[in-house]
Amino acid sequence: MRINANYRNIKDSYLFSTIGQKVSAYTAAHPEADVIRLGIGDVTRPLSPAVVDAMAKAARELGTAEGFHGYIPSEQGYLFLREAIADYYARRGVTLSPDEIFISDGAKSDLGNLLDLFDADNTALIPDPVYPAYVDANVMAGRRVVYCDATVENGFLPLPDEGVHADLIYICSPNNPTGAVYGREGLQKWVDYALRHDAVLLFDAAYEAFIEDPSLPRSIYEVEGAERCAIEVCSFSKMAGFTGTRCGWTVVPEALEREGMNLNRMWMRRQSTKYNGTPYVIHRAAEAVFTEEGYRQCMESIAYYKQNARIMAGTLDQLGIFYTGGVNSPYIWLRCPGGLDSWTFFDRLLEQANVVGTPGEGFGANGEGFFRLTAFNTREKTAEAMQRFERLARSL
Query: Closest separation between CB of residue 41 and ligand MLT, Å?
Result: 3
Residue whose Cβ sits closest to ligand MLT: 41
When asked if residue 37 is in the footprint of ligand MLT (CB under 6 A), the reply is: no
| 259 Rama class: left (phi>0) / alpha (psi -120 to 50) / beta | left
In the set 88, 131, 221, 249, which binds ligand MLT (CB under 6 A)? 131
Cβ distance to ligand MLT smaller for residue 147 or 363: 363
When asked if residue 108 is in the footprint of ligand MLT (CB under 6 A), the reply is: yes
Q: Please list every residue from 59 through 98 that binds ligand MLT, using CB under 6 A.
A: none
Query: Closest separation between CB of residue 40 and ligand MLT, Å?
Result: 4
Cβ distance to ligand MLT smaller for residue 40 or 140: 40
Query: Closest separation between CB of residue 374 and ligand MLT, Å?
Result: 6
When asked if residue 109 is in the footprint of ligand MLT (CB under 6 A), the reply is: no
- Contact (Cβ atoms closer than 8 angstroms) between residue 162 and residue 195: no
Query: Closest separation between CB of residue 164 and ligand MLT, Å?
Result: 26
Query: Closest separation between CB of residue 98 and ligand MLT, Å?
Result: 25
- Contact (Cβ atoms closer than 8 angstroms) between residue 189 and residue 169: no
Query: Closest separation between CB of residue 304 and ligand MLT, Å?
Result: 17
When asked if residue 175 is in the footprint of ligand MLT (CB under 6 A), the reply is: no
- List residues bridging with 232 in a β-sheet: 203, 251
Cβ distance to ligand MLT smaller for residue 37 or 197: 37
Cβ distance to ligand MLT smaller for residue 78 or 331: 331
- Alpha carbon 391 to chain centroid, angstroms: 31
In the set 40, 72, 319, 327, which binds ligand MLT (CB under 6 A)? 40
When asked if residue 207 is in the footprint of ligand MLT (CB under 6 A), the reply is: no
Query: Closest separation between CB of residue 362 and ligand MLT, Å?
Result: 9
Cβ distance to ligand MLT smaller for residue 104 or 264: 104
* Separation CA 97–CA 307 (nearest Å): 36
When asked if residue 357 is in the footprint of ligand MLT (CB under 6 A), the reply is: no
- Contact (Cβ atoms closer than 8 angstroms) between residue 370 and residue 323: no
- Contact (Cβ atoms closer than 8 angstroms) between residue 58 and residue 280: yes
Cβ distance to ligand MLT smaller for residue 263 or 375: 375
Q: Is 165 buried (19+), middle (13-18) or exposed (0-12) by CB count in 10 A?
A: middle
- Contact (Cβ atoms closer than 8 angstroms) between residue 145 and residue 123: yes
Structure-derived torsion over alpha carbons of residues 186, 162, 129, 117, reported in degrees to the nearest 10: 90
Residue ranges of the alpha helices (H) in the chain?
15-29, 49-62, 79-90, 107-113, 133-140, 184-196, 237-240, 263-274, 280-289, 292-319, 342-353, 379-395
Residues in contact with ligand MLT by CB under 6 A are 40-41, 108, 131, 176
